[in-house]
């Protein structure tokens, strides 16, 4: 494994500091209890591979395993999940995985290398009618071979600096090859994996429940008897924890909510803090006039005061700093001084807004009207929507908002039935291969409709560069092309906090909402 450690160190990724409850490491986990927690949106499908929101993975992750996974005690490290060990060829084009023995699916069937192959074939080249939301991340895979039931070999077309992170992506729920062979759409409506919990029931508008899988391959785990996730949004989210109706809020807690919980529950509730990989931005429907005009898109960006909005947004929406599409922890992130040189990041808002009005007039839409598509989610969506509407109204744009539930929100995006939408990128790592795939023309979760060969060429170019400094230059060209063309309009980023009762142990807060969700390590000290 020494070679792997050295390769991992060479990847264009940084160590991300986690907020780890070190005291809990010395304690002995106890078995029993059911975790009650809040999820602020319901899954549009049961298929991990097609899902685009962490709310779906929050309910699905406990039922599945992945080939590799992120170490919950050090999110810069990759460890095995279904893989017992692995080797990388000297040219970094062949990855050979030895799989753990004795793993079973929830239906009692045996797990083998055939299930890994079927899963990754579906992820990289989905059959007709199946969506793989992160298909672009697997474009470097050439072939997948299964020389034995406990061995799987991936051969790459070219060196992928983020290959191990690709194999550890939490969205890569491993499915049964038998089930996929019978029906590739089986997992759209069924839940059956090798994870620590077995699916029990889903009651739309109410809850999702799961029970311990007694034949889970990690002996002695999970510690809980089960999980009951309640679908709650709006004020009810904080009310549920404040009233001791749930044990944890594992998505995000804003500063005002934290103050309220402290006042109502005192030291009965504890908080976890960490950096955050999510970035928020606007996606513009470039296939719909007048948004096909770059002048209109630039005007929309110039109207937004990114620096002036922070004092209020940091309190209401946990949005704490401007970003340029990549997380603040990324090695290619811009400093404040560098951002202020980009269009839309000046602190001279009078000048920016005057230019925005001029551009709208030149485009023939001085009295532009548009509808902003948003999600009906407490943080940061609702406060951010109000802020963006206010910014546009200051240059004379007449704007309405559609605050949609999560399924119709994504339906509108995928069908192109929108003008401009508040969008997001929730990445596991900060490596450009994962972060930028959202913005590649043709990517399943790039909803702008842009057809820009320059972006495709720049993405492919950076993926082949090993030198971090040279790679950073090309990635910056990609980002600045995005800013210039305005297919997407960059906005803000933030840190993350969650809350739980003090008896809830083993929870390690990740820098993303999609890690550490299988709940195999958590327990109650009661």
What was the pLDDT predicted at 21? 40
Q: Which residues pair with 497 in a beta bridge?
A: 273
**Fold that domain 2-195+496-524 belongs to in CATH:** Dipeptide-binding Protein; domain 1 (3.90.76)
In the chain, the percentage of residues whose pLDDT exceeds 90 is 80
Average pLDDT of the chain to the nearest whole number: 92
* Those residues with Cβ within 8 angstroms of residue 303's Cβ, 6 or more apart along the chain or in another chain: 352, 353, 356, 391, 392, 394, 395, 397
Tens-place pLDDT, residues 478-516: 999 999 999 999 999 988 899 999 999 999 999 899 999
Tens-place pLDDT, residues 400-447: 999 998 889 999 999 999 999 999 998 888 889 889 989 999 888 899
The answer to whether residue 1 scores a pLDDT higher than 80 is no
**By the 8 A CB rule, do 195 and 94 touch?**
no
Q: What is the mean pLDDT of residues 182-201?
A: 98
What was the pLDDT predicted at 52? 79
In the chain, the percentage of residues whose pLDDT exceeds 70 is 95
Q: 20-24, 106-110, 321-325: which range is least confident on average?
A: 20-24
* Integer Cα distance of 28 and 152 in angstroms: 36
Tens-place pLDDT, residues 209-257: 999 999 999 999 999 999 999 999 888 999 999 999 999 999 989 888 8
Half-sphere exposure of 330 (CA within 13 A, CB side): 29
Q: Give 92's pLDDT tier (boundaries 50, 70, 90).
A: very high
Domain definitions of the chain by residue range: 2-195+496-524, 279-493
* Those residues with Cβ within 8 angstroms of residue 56's Cβ, 6 or more apart along the chain or in another chain: 41, 43, 44, 45, 48
H-helix segments, 243-287: 255-265
| Exposed / middle / buried, residue 4 (Cβ in 10 Å: 0-12, 13-18, 19+) | middle
- SS3 category, 125: coil
Q: 184-193, 199-208, 267-276, 479-488: which range is least confident on average?
A: 267-276
* Integer Cα distance of 155 and 93 in angstroms: 6
Q: Which residues pair with 489 in a beta bridge?
A: 282
Q: What is the mean pLDDT of residues 133-158?
A: 94
Tens-place pLDDT, residues 26-73: 589 999 999 999 999 899 899 999 997 889 999 999 999 999 999 988
Q: pTM higher than 0.85, yes or no?
A: no
Examine domains 2-195+496-524 and 279-493 and report if their fold is the same: no
The answer to whether residue 100 scores a pLDDT higher than 80 is yes
The answer to whether residue 91 scores a pLDDT higher than 50 is yes
What was the pLDDT predicted at 316? 83
**Fold that domain 279-493 belongs to in CATH:** Dipeptide-binding Protein; domain 3 (3.10.105)
Tens-place pLDDT, residues 384-405: 999 999 999 999 999 999 999 8
């Amino acid at each position: 494994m020494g070679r792997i450690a050295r390769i991992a160190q060479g990847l264009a990724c940084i160590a991300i500091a986690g907020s780890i409850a070190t005291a809990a490491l010395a304690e002995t986990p106890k078995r029993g209890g059911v975790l009650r927690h809040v999820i602020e949106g319901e899954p549009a499908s049961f298929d991990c591979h097609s899902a685009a929101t962490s709310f779906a993975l929050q309910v699905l992750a406990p039922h599945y395993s992945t080939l590799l996974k992120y170490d919950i005690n050090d999110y810069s490290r990759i460890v095995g999940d279904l893989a017992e060990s692995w080797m990388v060829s000297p040219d970094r084009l062949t990855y050979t995985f030895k799989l753990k023995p004795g793993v079973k699916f929830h239906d009692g069937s045996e797990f083998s290398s055939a299930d890994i192959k079927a899963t990754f074939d579906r992820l990289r080249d989905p059959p007709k009618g199946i969506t793989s939301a992160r298909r672009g991340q697997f474009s470097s895979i050439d072939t997948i071979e299964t020389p034995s039931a406990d061995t799987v070999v991936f051969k790459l077309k070219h060196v992928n600096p983020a290959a191990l992170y690709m194999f550890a992506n939490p969205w890569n729920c491993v499915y049964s090859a038998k089930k996929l062979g019978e029906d590739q759409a089986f997992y759209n409506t069924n839940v059956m994996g090798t994870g620590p919990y077995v699916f029990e029931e889903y009651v739309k508008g109410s809850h999702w429940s799961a029970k311990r899988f007694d034949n889970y391959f990690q002996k002695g785990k999970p510690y809980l008897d089960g999980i009951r996730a309640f679908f709650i949004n709006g004020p009810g989210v904080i009310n549920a924890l404040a009233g001791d109706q749930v044990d944890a809020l594992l998505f995000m807690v804003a500063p005002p909510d934290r103050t309220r919980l402290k006042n109502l529950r005192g030291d009965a509730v504890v908080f976890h803090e960490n950096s955050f990989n999510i970035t928020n931005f606007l996606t513009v429907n470039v296939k719909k006039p007048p948004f096909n005009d770059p002048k209109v898109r630039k005007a929309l960006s110039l109207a937004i005061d990114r620096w002036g909005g922070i004092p209020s947004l940091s309190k209401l929406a946990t949005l704490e700093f401007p970003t340029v599409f990549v997380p603040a922890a990324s090695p290619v992130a811009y400093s404040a001084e560098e951002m202020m040189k980009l269009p839309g990041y000046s602190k001279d808002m009078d000048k920016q807004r005057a230019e925005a009005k001029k551009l709208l007039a030149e485009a023939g839409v001085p009295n532009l009207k548009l509808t902003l598509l948003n999600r009906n989610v407490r943080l940061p969506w609702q406060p951010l929507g109000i802020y963006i509407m206010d910014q546009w109204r200051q240059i004379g744009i007449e704007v309405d908002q559609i605050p949609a539930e999560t399924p119709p929100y994504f339906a509108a995006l995928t069908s192109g039935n929108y003008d401009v939408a508040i969008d997001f990128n929730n990445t596991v790592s900060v490596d450009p291969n994962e972060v930028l795939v959202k913005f590649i023309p043709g990517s399943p979760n790039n909803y702008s409709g842009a057809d820009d060969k320059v972006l495709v060429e720049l993405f492919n170019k950076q993926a082949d560069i090993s030198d971090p400094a040279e790679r950073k230059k090309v990635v910056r060209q990609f980002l600045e092309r995005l800013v210039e063309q305005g297919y997407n309009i960059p906005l803000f980023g933030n840190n993350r906090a969650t809350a739980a009762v003090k008896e809830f142990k083993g929870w390690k807060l990740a820098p993303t909402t999609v890690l550490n969700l299988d709940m195999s390590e958590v327990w109650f000290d009661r």
